[in-house]
Amino acid sequence: MQEIYLDYNASTPVHPEIINDVLYSMHTVFANPSSQHKSGKSAALAIANARYNIAKYISADTNEIIFTSSATEAINLAIYSVLYQQKILNNKKNYKLLYAATEHKCVNNALNHWNKILQLDYEIVELPVNEDGQVILDVLQEELPLALMLCTMAVNNETGIITNLKAIKEAINKYNQYIFWLVDSVQALGKIDVNFKDLEISYASFSGHKIHAPKGCGVLYVADKNPLFPMFCGEQENKYRAGTENVPAIIGFDKALMLIEKNKHLPKNLFKYRNMIINSLTKVFPNIQINNSYPNIVPTVINFSVPEFLSKELINIFGIFNIRVAAGSACGALNSKSYVIDAMNLGRQRAEGAIRMSFSIFSNYNNIRQLCKRIALIGKKLNNYKKNYETKRYQYLLHNQTPVIRFNYNGINSWIVVNSEQCVVIDPIVELKNKLLNFINNNKLKIIAIMNTHGYVDYINYTQDLRNKLDIVIDNDDVDILGWPVNEKYLSNINIEGMQYPALLLAQDNVIIKVPTPGYTNDSVSFIVAKARDGVLLESQFVFTGGNILIEDLGRNNFKISNANKLYRSIENILKLVDNNCIVCPTYDCENLFATTMKIEQKANSLITDVLLKQQDIFLSRTKQVDLFSEEKYFQEISTKVYDPKNCIISNVDAKDIINKESYLLIDTREAVIHANDVKIIQFSKIIGVNKNSFFNVPFIHVVNFMSYCINSFDTNIHLLFICNSGMTSAYVASAFRRLGFLNSNSISLEILDKFNIDSENSYEMYV
Ligand code: PLP
């Protein structure tokens, strides 16, 4: 499947005609442009020509053009020059430095850097934008009078939104005519015309590799008489830059502008193409939300979100069909969001799911038709794999008749306990509503009850909304304030250690037992998912401990409704009631350790050890210490205990040896749809000799079940090899397994597949 590259705003392939010119120039004008001989002069002449053409293209004078290595350098040079001038003038005025919230990060970074290095300590002000991505003019007008510099981009790199520079200029005219105005024009070049002279823009930045020229050439336009000081000492560019000029890249930049001029007719069709693509996407993702709408945009960007997916998941889905798209966020992290969509106040879900498809100005109809066909193929495959939960495909889910699905948002868990065609939702939070609803609807599950381990404390509960949206087996009138059934017909009594506990009856001898466990809050309860017959507990499988027992920690105890003494008693009781291998599912999990077991906690959790050793006084003083922390510090403190996932990553160099030596379980932690459509991973499993029964797909939502399966089926010295695209998210799972005693848990990146020369065109029969 041929790669479809849709990340032109990040970088573009060098245009074949430019490659020709650049290659030719490397043979012909290779000399140092500062040399006085004829060869040197030819190189200098090539730069002079390029300078002339670029100046002409943006209606500037040649002495206003400085070649740099990149736009980032150009931006630094402009900001440095403005600030350095103040430094040497020794101006004591306390200026403000303004930048729009959606600027490229290098602008904010450069402002902070030079403000600090030059010890000016000016106030740096981020200007908010509205839902259309435009700077809010009221705020700008308020800030302008005391400002020294203003940075606003011409076109945004994530959304393609065209900034209303005219409106900004009007505000400047009214409130501060002397301001230095930097307009980052990287994404505007070749797409819209900016009249730098009429708008009296002081500085503008451009970058060659965004317009099909090679990397290594940027341009700073400095309008006449604006400050300019070199950051480094050198002889080049009229002494404003250091280092022999990158002549081939400059020639490439020049040629790119020539091509843009020659093809000026092309952009006319681009809006039509954009609509074709949006139509195709809408058929596959009917709930799509377009984050950049016509008309104030360049046609080469579609920024969208789909409520059911995070950007990371969408990137993976497109990736498997060889379409390269970008997220506005750093995708290495488990939770990340686009700061641009966030600044536009389009909501957290859209910011966390934002995908950018960016196109070339040279795109043609055939490229777009091919893309639309590929998108339709994704739609077909997605429909086949809509289900997130299928016991047929996941043999480890059969291990328990009540698999537990975990959803996590920023360290807070919501759970679904599945039993046959029905389910119970535990601790739903509003941030996970799309995930929960999606799972329930896609798997056509009927909700028996929605229950909470404690009343609302420090997050927004979603119980009531869910109740209103869905048809629930147990009526609203038949549950207490935490959602536990009060009508006897749903309940039975289970005898454990001589005490009777109420239990919600599920199919096939499965029950959920409620145990009052005050401590974290006075209304806290724990739920034990267990097998029971004739009122007798047979086996406890999962325990939902809410905010009481966390992984290697206990919950806070400093709410008004907390009580450490009661918590001690509650833990004592839970320890009596559940089996050692019972999986503990807490409400909070800041480090993505997924779950733990009672056996592990008895060793690793010093507060639990205190309870086991009956050291109530020590327990009480330790819980007090925990409470002394402010919430923020408390979470930082927890993080220091991280089982660093990085330690689990096997480099691709080492991987080849290890794989050949050991017999592994191979576990793909990517989403079901991605795993099922990836022919390469199946070929890989065959090559390394992993048979069908040792090869698993364990998406994050199923990790807890896989833990239960492994604990009950294997010795802890088994070798577990987790795999995902980067090797990083699977490393989180590997580290969680190491915690549980599976010390031979490791993670590798899918890039290892390239080492095995696996040919993706060569299709193998899939296991699933
Ligand atoms: N400004 C914008 C709007 C950009 O999109 C980029 C590149 O991503 C830059 C600045 C930095 O450009 P360069 O890679 O040439 O430093």
CA angle 521–525–528, rounded 5-degree value: 150
Euclidean distance between CA atoms 184 and 206, whole angstroms: 7
State the pLDDT at residue 684. 82
Mean pLDDT of 449-478: 83
Q: Of 498, 497, 492, whose CA–CA distance to 513 is shortest?
A: 492
Q: Is 104 in the pocket of ligand 1 (CB under 6 A)?
A: yes
Q: What are phi and psi of 380, to 5 degrees?
A: -65, -45
Atom of ligand 1 nearest to the CA of 75: 10
Residue 720 has pLDDT above 70, yes or no: yes
Euclidean distance between CA atoms 457 and 468, whole angstroms: 22
Euclidean distance between CA atoms 79 and 181, whole angstroms: 10
Residue 728 has pLDDT above 60, yes or no: yes
Chain position carrying tokens 């404690």: 454
Atom of ligand 1 nearest to the CA of 69: 15
List alpha helices for 445-552, DSSP H.
463-469
State the pLDDT at residue 687. 78
Residues 6+ apart with CB under 8 A from 674: 316, 317, 319, 320
Structure confidence at residue 703 as a pLDDT band (50, 70, 90): very high
Mode of pairing for the β-strands spanning 4-5 and 323-324: parallel
If one compares 767 and 547, the residue with the highest pLDDT of the two is 547
Residue 635 has pLDDT above 70, yes or no: no
Q: For 29-40, what is the HEC assignment?
A: CCCCCCCCCHHH
Ligand 1 centroid from CA 213, angstroms:
14
Euclidean distance between CA atoms 467 and 449, whole angstroms: 9
Ligand 1 centroid from CA 73, angstroms:
10
List alpha helices for 517-651, DSSP H.
564-577, 598-604, 606-612, 616-628, 631-639
Supply the residue whose CA is at minimum distance from atom 8 of ligand 1. Answer: 10
Q: What are phi and psi of 54, to 5 degrees?
A: -65, -45
Atom of ligand 1 nearest to the CA of 103: 3
306 neighbors 287 (Cβ within 8 angstroms) = yes
Judged by average pLDDT, the poorest of 24-38, 193-207, 255-269, 515-529 is 255-269
Residue 654 has pLDDT above 50, yes or no: yes
Provide the β-strand partners of residue 461: 429
For a mutational test of ligand 1's pocket, the pick from 105, 106, 108, 356, i.e. the residue with the most ligand atoms closer than 8 A to its C-beta, is 106
Q: Which long-range contacts (CB under 8 A, 24 or more apart) does 346-350 make?
A: 346/131, 346/289, 346/291, 346/305, 348/431, 349/305, 349/307, 349/434, 350/289, 350/291, 350/305
Atom of ligand 1 nearest to the CA of 207: 15
Given 106, 331, 582, 590, the catalytic residue = 331
For a mutational test of ligand 1's pocket, the pick from 157, 163, 185, 205, i.e. the residue with the most ligand atoms closer than 8 A to its C-beta, is 157
State the pLDDT at residue 767. 29
Q: Is 185 in the pocket of ligand 1 (CB under 6 A)?
A: no
Ligand 1 centroid from CA 254, angstroms:
18
Euclidean distance between CA atoms 400 and 419, whole angstroms: 9
State the pLDDT at residue 268. 77
Ligand 1 centroid from CA 201, angstroms:
19
Residue 150 has pLDDT above 70, yes or no: yes
Residue 236 has pLDDT above 60, yes or no: yes
49 neighbors 198 (Cβ within 8 angstroms) = no
Q: Is 153 in the pocket of ligand 1 (CB under 6 A)?
A: yes
Q: How many CB atoms lie within 10 A of CB 237?
A: 20
Structure confidence at residue 1 as a pLDDT band (50, 70, 90): confident
564 neighbors 624 (Cβ within 8 angstroms) = yes
* 106 is an active site residue: no
List alpha helices for 402-453, DSSP H.
433-442
State the pLDDT at residue 658. 64
Atom of ligand 1 nearest to the CA of 156: 3
Euclidean distance between CA atoms 688 and 380, whole angstroms: 31
Mean pLDDT of 161-186: 98
Structure confidence at residue 389 as a pLDDT band (50, 70, 90): confident
Mean pLDDT of 487-493: 92
Provide the β-strand partners of residue 129: 135
Supply the residue whose CA is at minimum distance from atom 7 of ligand 1. Answer: 10
Structure confidence at residue 434 as a pLDDT band (50, 70, 90): confident
Chain position carrying tokens 């919501």: 414
Q: Report residue 441 as tokens.
A: 């609807």
For a mutational test of ligand 1's pocket, the pick from 9, 163, 187, i.e. the residue with the most ligand atoms closer than 8 A to its C-beta, is 187
Residue 354 has pLDDT above 80, yes or no: yes
241 neighbors 230 (Cβ within 8 angstroms) = yes
Q: Is 71 in the pocket of ligand 1 (CB under 6 A)?
A: yes
Distances (CA, A) of 42 to 46, 53, 56, 472: 6, 17, 21, 80
Euclidean distance between CA atoms 327 and 311, whole angstroms: 6
Residues 6+ apart with CB under 8 A from 9: 157, 158, 160, 187, 210, 300, 301, 326, 356, 358
For 122, the 3-state DSSP assignment is coil
List alpha helices for 361-497, DSSP H.
365-384, 433-442, 463-469
Residue 754 has pLDDT above 80, yes or no: no
State the pLDDT at residue 619. 85
pTM of the model: 0.83
Q: Is 184 in the pocket of ligand 1 (CB under 6 A)?
A: yes
Q: Report residue 438 as tokens.
A: 């999606």
Distances (CA, A) of 94 to 80, 179, 452, 733, 739: 17, 14, 53, 51, 53
Residue 632 has pLDDT above 80, yes or no: no
Q: Running DSSP on this structure, what letter comes out for residue 15?
A: P
Q: Side chain identity at 7, as an amino acid letter?
A: D
Ligand 1 centroid from CA 70, angstroms:
8
The distance of Cα 88 from the centroid of its chain, to the nearest Å, equals 43
Q: Is 187 in the pocket of ligand 1 (CB under 6 A)?
A: yes
Euclidean distance between CA atoms 748 and 728, whole angstroms: 8
Q: Report residue 659 as tokens.
A: 């794989």
Atom of ligand 1 nearest to the CA of 70: 15
Atom of ligand 1 nearest to the CA of 73: 16
State the pLDDT at residue 761. 46
Q: Of 125, 129, 167, whose CA–CA distance to 143 is shortest?
A: 125
Q: Side chain identity at 602, as an amino acid letter?
A: Q
584 neighbors 549 (Cβ within 8 angstroms) = yes
Judged by average pLDDT, the poorest of 188-202, 230-244, 751-765 is 751-765
Average per-residue pLDDT for the chain:
89
Mean pLDDT of 657-675: 82
Structure confidence at residue 422 as a pLDDT band (50, 70, 90): very high
Q: Report residue 169 as tokens.
A: 């200029």
State the pLDDT at residue 763. 37
Mode of pairing for the β-strands spanning 301-305 and 289-290: antiparallel
Ligand 1 centroid from CA 71, angstroms:
6
Ligand 1 centroid from CA 190, angstroms:
15
Bond before 295 cis per omega within 30 degrees: yes
Q: Is 218 in the pocket of ligand 1 (CB under 6 A)?
A: yes
Residue 70 has pLDDT above 80, yes or no: yes
Residue 374 has pLDDT above 80, yes or no: yes
